[in-house]
Structure 1
Amino acid sequence: MHAPKFAASRSFHQELKRRTNAYFAEAGKATTGGKSLFIKALILTITFVALYVHLVFLTPPTWLAVLECLLLGGVGAAIGFNVMHDGAHGSFSKKRWVNQFAAFTLNVMGGNSFMWNMKHNLIHHMYTNIDGIDDDLDAQPWLRLSPGQPRRRLHRFQHLYFWFFYALLFIAWIFYMDYQKYFRGKIGEMPIKKMNASDQGVFWGFKALHLGLFVALPIYMVGFVSWLVGFLLFMAVAGFTLSIVFQLAHTVEHAEFPVPHATTNKLEDEWAIHQIKTTANFATDNKILSWLVGGLNFQVEHHLFPTISHVHYPAINKIIRQVCEEFGIEYNEYPKMRYAVASHVAHLRELGRR
């Protein structure tokens, strides 16, 4: 499949960039995370390590171990949202090595930063919600997430069972999907660049490290059954949390799923307008939620300016909304997270019926 082309960039995107750049210049702020993000990263990392050490080496009672495994999944997802995500986009710090270090938290958790960069930064952020290219839409045959995908009989019930497959996301990601991409040399139908020796070493080295830290050592310390129960709880919470936050941004009722022209392979909109039409915010006034999910409830801002740290999204949100209003472009936002969840469920129900 050939990547589609966007319409020529017009004044809308240029005006967005002009006003956003002006904001940072006038405020005298860097576009990276700064002290507040470093403190958040430290809090989350220390919490995760403390939970891991207590579970593996100090053997808490069963009821407490279960609670800690659930919390470990939530904190792991929060590290992904806040530390890894900003680091992978180069917005965690001004220093490249710090960004790489932050991005490498994914490798420790069992994923692979090279594959994430290809899948997320280069494909998803460029070709958002384009079926057959945006790999985030590919949950076939179990889920139908876009109108262009084939409908199967089981999809009639996907709005009821989706949570189960979301809970499986992380375990499928690190034990299957990374390897599938590695051996196929493709993400969906899009080829990925060749991995050099360093990329290969990171891939296999950290996969081995993850197996040691999260499989072999815990089994040795607490036994197979205790490890299995705890590991599945940890992975299910992390997987569901990661899934639902990203799905609420793009697979909701008001998000569009553009289709390139059959002959020219061109899209109707310029890139910036495409991002707004395919993306939605939710609960942007909820400061606790924004802190926990790394500002990913401000997905419109993130997609338009992925190299700006999430700590600045509340400020540039006002700028983007104003420009959209002036240009007559609809801005998608759900005031509460529960409204976004309801819209996502309604989207799944509708796709399952038609």
Structure 2
Amino acid sequence: MTISAKTNSMEKLKRPVYVKAGTDDFFKKLRAEVNETVLQNSSLYRLNIIKSVGLVVLYFLFYSCILLFGNSTPLLFLFYILCGVTMIMLFINAFHDAAHGALFKKSIYNERFMYILELFGGNHWLWTRRHINLHHAYPNVPDWDVDIKQSDIIRIFPNSPLFNYHKYQHIYMWMIYPLYSLNWIYIRDFKDFFGTKNNYVKKVVEKIPTIEVYKLFAAKIVNMFYMLFLPMLVLNQPWYIVLGGWFAMHLCGSALGVVALVSTHVDEDAHFPGTDENGNLSATWAMHQMIVTKDFSTNSKLANFLYGGFTHHVAHHLFPGVAHTYYPHITPIIMRYAEEYDLPYTSYPFYHAVRSHFRMLKDKGVQENIMMMGEI
């Protein structure tokens, strides 16, 4: 056995373990009430399917408009930007639900729907394991939550190395966050497939199927061809104008998506519960979700439509296998149980959440205060 294999085996032996729920666990009662009341409404399930399929149609409608009307530079940029916005909405609404098996009742339909993700350059096999087996299993847990720990460019976890440039991260991340989708599709996927340093995915995956490597490259090539090279070929536009429209698509889409990413787990009051030497956490699974997850703009119908399961993110983490269209009806029940059991629950406007996130970046960019480690 190689050294790296031994290291991976040791890490898997120390996988975080939650406290076992007791007889008076709030989540048992909460789940029973949600099942008996909210989840009986099948119209919310159908609404989610209509919304998801509608977004797919809308995306390719906007793409068709790039080819039909793209000889006009303003219209070229407009429809590229609309493609970017719709792309992100598909990610955080439809694909997100499908990855959790929450879009369709039959798992095979969710799996087939996820293949549409490949047209956007992603790899649904990788994303599902990265998101569910790491982020949802251990949200905000240092060295396990891959959605938070992605690069040394940004420091969020208290146990992450502190570099001199981190003192400016609350400034330069304004310029890096709009590149999020480009990083995801063209850098991060390759790092997770082939990287050896701090490869979080390989903590929970024994072996990446060879077919997924071929799919990885095929998805990138197909996406680049129809989104970038085909418009360059058919439109009467200089190549750099088309490239500019494609770049604007990713900038605007990422700016929209980052609001959801920074508003739900990583504000200035965020907790990052660590494990003891045996890998034990200090809370039950459900209590942990309440501690590390926050909602934003829950009363905004526009925000709920744009961000799906992210505005009511506590409900999503407690009921990941439930369609996001149910969450506005589940959240009031969660709030009632939080008050009854004296559990943390936070919901704030998105602008407050974003502001709080960048204050957190400023705090984490300097030497850590031992009294603010976030351990509970």
- Give the TM-score, by structure 2 length: 0.86
Change (3 A) 1:74 1:86: same
2:16 touches 2:279 (CA, 8 Å); kept in 1?
Answer: yes
Q: Supply the distance in 2 between the matched residues of 1:193 and 1:208 (Cα, whole angstroms).
A: 27
2:259 touches 2:350 (CA, 8 Å); kept in 1?
Answer: no
Q: Supply the distance in 2 between the matched residues of 1:256 and 1:69 (Cα, whole angstroms).
A: 38
Structure 2 residue corresponding to 1:325, chosen from 319, 322, 339 = 339
1:69 touches 1:234 (CA, 8 Å); kept in 2?
Answer: yes
Task: Tell me the equivalent position of 2:6.
Answer: none
Q: Supply the distance in 2 between the matched residues of 1:224 and 1:60 (Cα, whole angstroms).
A: 12
Q: Post-superposition shift, 1:93?
A: 1.4
Task: Tell me the equivalent position of 2:152.
Answer: 141
1:167 touches 1:235 (CA, 8 Å); kept in 2?
Answer: yes
Task: Tell me the equivalent position of 1:36.
Answer: 47
Q: Supply the distance in 2 between the matched residues of 1:299 and 1:78 (Cα, whole angstroms).
A: 15
Task: Tell me the equivalent position of 1:158.
Answer: 169
Stretch of structure 1 that moved more, 300-309 or 142-151:
142-151
| 1:113-148 deviation digits (Å, cap 9, x = unpaired) | 111111101110011011211111224322112222
- Matched ranges for 1:97-116 at <5 A: 97-116=108-127
Q: Supply the distance in 2 between the matched residues of 1:280 and 1:136 (Cα, whole angstroms).
A: 15
Q: Supply the distance in 2 between the matched residues of 1:165 and 1:133 (Cα, whole angstroms).
A: 23
Structure 2 residue corresponding to 1:5, chosen from 17, 32, 52 = 17
- Matched ranges for 1:159-308 at <5 A: 159-184=170-195, 186-187=199-200, 190-196=203-209, 199-200=212-213, 202-222=215-235, 223-261=238-276, 263-308=277-322
| 1:45-64 deviation digits (Å, cap 9, x = unpaired) | 22211221121343242122
| 1:190-238 deviation digits (Å, cap 9, x = unpaired) | 2424344654554343333223222332332245312221111111222
Which residue identity lines up with residue 308 of structure 2 in the other structure? G
Q: SS of the counterpart of 1:137?
A: coil
| 1:3-24 deviation digits (Å, cap 9, x = unpaired) | 2111112312222222222224
- Matched ranges for 1:42-57 at <5 A: 42-57=53-68
Q: Unpaired segments of 5 or more residues in structure 2? A: 1-10, 368-376
2:262 touches 2:353 (CA, 8 Å); kept in 1?
Answer: no
Q: Supply the distance in 1 between the matched residues of 2:26 and 2:46 (Cα, whole angstroms).
A: 32
Task: State the identity as a percent.
Answer: 27
Which residue identity lines up with residue 244 of structure 1 in the other structure? V
2:55 touches 2:90 (CA, 8 Å); kept in 1?
Answer: yes
Change (3 A) 1:130 1:53: same
Which residue identity lines up with residue 21 of structure 1 in the other structure? N
| 1:234-280 deviation digits (Å, cap 9, x = unpaired) | 1122223222212210111232111111x222111111111111110
Report the aligned-residue RMSD.
2.1
Task: Tell me the equivalent position of 1:315.
Answer: 329
Change (3 A) 1:154 1:114: same
Q: Supply the distance in 2 between the matched residues of 1:220 and 1:20 (Cα, whole angstroms).
A: 53
Q: Post-superposition shift, 1:310?
A: 0.4
1:6 touches 1:268 (CA, 8 Å); kept in 2?
Answer: yes
Aligned residues: 349
1:253 touches 1:343 (CA, 8 Å); kept in 2?
Answer: yes
2:48 touches 2:324 (CA, 8 Å); kept in 1?
Answer: no
Q: SS of the counterpart of 2:65?
A: helix
Q: Supply the distance in 2 between the matched residues of 1:264 and 1:59 (Cα, whole angstroms).
A: 59
Which residue identity lines up with residue 296 of structure 1 in the other structure? F
Q: SS of the counterpart of 1:231?
A: helix
Q: Supply the distance in 2 between the matched residues of 1:241 and 1:151 (Cα, whole angstroms).
A: 28
Q: SS of the counterpart of 1:267?
A: strand
| 1:21-75 deviation digits (Å, cap 9, x = unpaired) | 2224xx6334x95321232223322221122112134324212222222222111
Q: Post-superposition shift, 1:101?
A: 3.1
